[in-house]
Amino acid sequence: MADPMRIRATLQGDVADVRVLMSHPMETGQRKDASGNVVPLHFIHSITAQLNGKTVFEASTTQAISRNPVFAFKVKGAKAGDKLSITWEDNKGDKRTDEITLGG
Protein backbone atom coordinates (compact mmCIF):
# COMPACT_ATOMS: atom_id res chain seq x y z
CA MET A 1 0.00 0.00 0.00
CA ALA A 2 1.43 3.30 -1.06
CA ASP A 3 2.01 6.01 1.52
CA PRO A 4 -0.20 9.13 1.55
CA MET A 5 0.56 12.25 -0.46
CA ARG A 6 0.96 15.62 1.12
CA ILE A 7 -1.28 18.10 -0.70
CA ARG A 8 -1.24 21.80 0.05
CA ALA A 9 -3.31 24.45 -1.67
CA THR A 10 -3.61 28.16 -1.07
CA LEU A 11 -6.43 30.16 -2.64
CA GLN A 12 -5.82 33.58 -4.10
CA GLY A 13 -9.02 34.84 -5.66
CA ASP A 14 -10.23 31.97 -7.81
CA VAL A 15 -6.76 30.50 -8.33
CA ALA A 16 -5.61 27.59 -6.18
CA ASP A 17 -1.84 27.26 -5.89
CA VAL A 18 -1.34 23.53 -5.39
CA ARG A 19 1.74 21.72 -4.20
CA VAL A 20 1.82 18.00 -3.91
CA LEU A 21 4.46 15.71 -2.49
CA MET A 22 4.35 12.05 -3.44
CA SER A 23 5.98 9.16 -1.66
CA HIS A 24 7.45 6.93 -4.36
CA PRO A 25 10.80 5.17 -5.00
CA MET A 26 10.88 6.29 -8.69
CA GLU A 27 13.40 3.63 -9.66
CA THR A 28 15.14 4.39 -12.94
CA GLY A 29 15.85 0.78 -13.81
CA GLN A 30 19.53 1.67 -13.98
CA ARG A 31 20.42 1.53 -10.31
CA LYS A 32 21.99 -1.57 -8.77
CA ASP A 33 21.38 -2.75 -5.24
CA ALA A 34 24.08 -3.70 -2.71
CA SER A 35 24.45 -7.18 -4.22
CA GLY A 36 24.83 -5.81 -7.76
CA ASN A 37 21.39 -6.70 -9.09
CA VAL A 38 19.56 -4.14 -11.21
CA VAL A 39 16.64 -2.62 -9.33
CA PRO A 40 13.66 -2.91 -11.69
CA LEU A 41 12.06 0.12 -13.26
CA HIS A 42 9.34 1.45 -10.97
CA PHE A 43 7.92 4.90 -11.59
CA ILE A 44 4.77 6.98 -11.59
CA HIS A 45 3.59 7.29 -15.19
CA SER A 46 0.47 9.36 -14.77
CA ILE A 47 -0.91 12.01 -12.46
CA THR A 48 -4.45 13.33 -12.49
CA ALA A 49 -6.01 16.16 -10.47
CA GLN A 50 -9.76 16.58 -10.16
CA LEU A 51 -11.71 19.50 -8.81
CA ASN A 52 -15.09 18.33 -7.56
CA GLY A 53 -14.75 15.25 -9.76
CA LYS A 54 -13.85 17.11 -12.93
CA THR A 55 -10.34 16.56 -14.31
CA VAL A 56 -8.38 19.81 -14.30
CA PHE A 57 -4.87 18.51 -14.68
CA GLU A 58 -3.23 15.48 -16.28
CA ALA A 59 0.42 14.68 -16.63
CA SER A 60 2.44 11.84 -18.10
CA THR A 61 5.68 11.34 -16.22
CA THR A 62 8.82 9.27 -16.69
CA GLN A 63 11.54 7.67 -14.60
CA ALA A 64 13.61 10.85 -14.98
CA ILE A 65 11.68 12.40 -12.09
CA SER A 66 13.37 12.04 -8.69
CA ARG A 67 12.36 9.88 -5.77
CA ASN A 68 9.57 11.35 -3.60
CA PRO A 69 8.72 13.95 -6.25
CA VAL A 70 7.21 17.37 -5.76
CA PHE A 71 4.71 18.91 -8.22
CA ALA A 72 3.22 22.38 -8.18
CA PHE A 73 0.50 23.78 -10.41
CA LYS A 74 -2.30 26.32 -10.38
CA VAL A 75 -5.99 25.69 -10.87
CA LYS A 76 -8.28 28.48 -12.02
CA GLY A 77 -11.92 28.67 -11.06
CA ALA A 78 -11.50 27.17 -7.61
CA LYS A 79 -13.27 28.27 -4.45
CA ALA A 80 -13.28 27.47 -0.75
CA GLY A 81 -15.01 24.19 0.00
CA ASP A 82 -14.10 22.61 -3.32
CA LYS A 83 -12.74 19.06 -3.21
CA LEU A 84 -9.38 18.63 -4.84
CA SER A 85 -8.26 15.07 -5.41
CA ILE A 86 -5.00 13.86 -6.86
CA THR A 87 -4.29 10.40 -8.20
CA TRP A 88 -1.08 8.82 -9.37
CA GLU A 89 -0.54 5.50 -11.03
CA ASP A 90 2.74 3.68 -11.58
CA ASN A 91 4.07 1.16 -14.05
CA LYS A 92 3.38 -1.72 -11.65
CA GLY A 93 -0.27 -0.78 -11.50
CA ASP A 94 -0.05 0.70 -8.00
CA LYS A 95 -2.37 3.63 -7.46
CA ARG A 96 -2.97 6.20 -4.80
CA THR A 97 -5.62 8.91 -4.45
CA ASP A 98 -5.71 11.63 -1.80
CA GLU A 99 -8.21 14.43 -1.41
CA ILE A 100 -8.30 17.77 0.37
CA THR A 101 -10.94 20.44 0.81
CA LEU A 102 -9.82 23.87 -0.28
CA GLY A 103 -9.68 26.36 2.58
CA GLY A 104 -10.94 29.95 2.75
Q: Decide: 44 and 65 in contact? Cβ < 8 Å.
A: yes
Cβ neighbour number for residue 54 with a 10 Å cutoff: 8
Q: Is 45 in the site for another protein (CB under 8 A)?
A: no
Q: Among 29, 72, 79, 92, indicate the residue that binds another protein (CB under 8 A).
A: 72
Footprint on residues 2-31 left by another protein (CB under 8 A): 3-6, 8, 19, 21-23, 25-26, 31
Enter the DSSP assignment of 3: P
**Three-state SS at 104:** coil
Cα distances from 2 to residues 8, 44, 93, in angstroms, run 19, 12, 11
Stretch that binds another protein, among 53-61, 80-88, 89-97 (CB under 8 A): 53-61
Contacts with another protein by CB under 8 A lie at 3-6, 8, 19, 21-23, 25-26, 31, 33, 39, 56-57, 59, 64-76
